[in-house]
Structure 1
Amino acid sequence: MTFVNRSGKKLWIGGTVNKDELDGDSKNLKSLPVLKPGQSATVTIPEVKAPHHWRGKFFARQGCSGKPGSTFHCAIGDCGVFAQRCKTGEQPVSLAEFNFDKKETKAPWYDVSYVNAFSLPITIAPKGAEKVTKNGSCSQQGCRKNLLRCCPKGDRQHNSAGKTVLCVNPNRDATSAYSDAVKKHCPKAYAWSKQDQETGNRTMRQCAKCKGFVVTFW
């Protein structure tokens, strides 16, 4: 998994496993990169050992400061006091979601999710299997567009200078002005939790023969 920072900001990569993972299943990664603008870094997803799968998501933490392990804190995407790993669940933020499973022939599955919130544009591109099939397998997901500009006014969160830094979904389980804006401007990302049940949706893809992924934060 290669992470690329095209955002123009310093990013602390966060990652958490899905909430339905039980003890002994997927584990949070312990060493995720910190990227300055223009930097990239690659990590290995440990699905080769028991339980032979990893189901979770990655995201960009922004505006972080403090002493790691003690007072470390991020203004956006906060997930605990450590700079290179998460101790808690993430605040609402843009997500790159994955399901790696050695026992499933169609895996890995992947998607960009703005279901909880939009913070930065994300794209996910497979490596080693770049040919997109007729059903959309192995396609690039997400988009480069900054959706903060399209965020409904009531869903915007601002920093101390009054700049919009986050767009939060008011109801992840129902359509809204928020989900309408996301679907209009980024149809290859999740806008609400049940969008994958809509006819013709393009939210989730799989790429069984790929050799990895590039996750870019724009």
Structure 2
Amino acid sequence: MEIGAIIYAFVLAILFFSGAHAATFTFTNNCPYTVWPGLLSGSGSAPPASTGFELASKATSTQNIPAPWSGRFWARTGCSNASGKFTCATADCGSGQITCNGAGAIPPASLVEFTLAANAGQDFYDVSLVDGFNLPLSITPQGGAGGCPSSSCPGNVNSVCPPELAVKGPDGGVIACKSACLALNQPQYCCTGAYGTPQTCPPTNYSKIFKGQCPQAYSYAYDDKSSTFTCTGGANYLITFCP
């Protein structure tokens, strides 16, 4: 066997026994406007190759992320450099650049959240509206085993957003919907203090509005049972904005 082939086989063996693999995330923009996806790694996870990029309407982009990894994705809207730095009308990460560089989305923002397991183990994923809503999105596993259901927020929460939660654009239209916790800052909506357990913090009239539009998505902090999904076997994932 040639030296090059020996080295290649050795590297493959290291990757196999260490459980290293990478999930391919495909981002598709079905919105009738450009979006700027943002990517944020959780504590202890290596940052992805890109932490933010532009995605035109009907365009697709891919990114490989080695497991184990945890983090979240979202889409910024209404972005420009008109002020001399890069800013967005919704879900801005505040970096002043297209890349978010370790900064998360400023609420309100629709999120997809992942925990990728090493060695093609059990991944966890969800769509979250705990930080509010700015656009519909979905997660579709590709490959994998163990059921691997899709999860989505297909509804337009902005269309039913109460005035006290609404974020309006220059034309007066609703461009995002705050969570009740963010807008009203009361413990019964934030699940804090005396309301800090699943038993003392049930769904509210506000969270039910989000749940009505997006039954599979997290609508408030303790909305676990109907909103967390799993997949084993090293799946890849399709993230669609405006599915």
Structure 1-normalised TM-score? 0.83
> Mapping of 1:66-77 within 5 angstroms?
66=81, 71-77=85-91
Structure index of larger Rg: 2
* Structure 1 residue 28 corresponds to structure 2 residue 47: yes
- 1:81 lines up with 2:96 in the alignment: yes
What is the deviation of 1:90?
A: 1.4
Counterparts of 2:234 and 2:117, CA distance in 1: 13
Work out which of the residue numbers 221, 229, 233 in structure 2 matches 1:193. 221
Q: Percent identity?
A: 30
**Contact between 1:14 and 1:86, CA under 8 Å: does it hold in 2?**
no
**Residue 29 (structure 2) pairs with residue 5 (structure 1):** yes
Higher strand share: 1
- Tell me the number of residue pairs that the alignment of Structure 1 and Structure 2 aligns: 197
Q: Counterpart amino acid of 1:98?
A: F
Q: How far is 1:104 from its partner?
A: 7.9
Distance 2:100 2:214 in 1: 29
Q: Quote the Cα distance in structure 1 between the aligned partners of 2:106 and 2:100.
A: 14
Aligned twin of 1:163: 173
- Find the residue that maps to 1:179 and give its secondary structure: helix
- Structure holding more helix per residue: 2
1:86, 1:63 → 2: CA distance?
A: 19
Counterpart contact for 1:5–1:35, Cα < 8 Å: yes
Q: Which runs of 5+ in 1 are unaligned?
A: 48-52
Counterparts of 1:51-200 in structure 2 under 5 Å? 53-66=68-81, 71-79=85-93, 80-92=95-107, 93-102=109-118, 105-106=121-122, 108-129=123-144, 137-171=147-181, 172-173=190-191, 174=201, 175-196=203-224
2: distance between equivalents of 1:29 and 1:77? 19
TM-score under structure 2 length normalisation: 0.75
CA–CA distance in 1 between the matches of 2:62 and 2:135?
20
Aligned-partner SS, 2:97: coil
Shift of 1:61: 0.9
Q: Tell me how far apart the structure 2 counterparts of residues 30 and 99 of structure 1 sit (CA, whole Å).
A: 17
CA-based RMSD of the aligned residues comes to 2.1
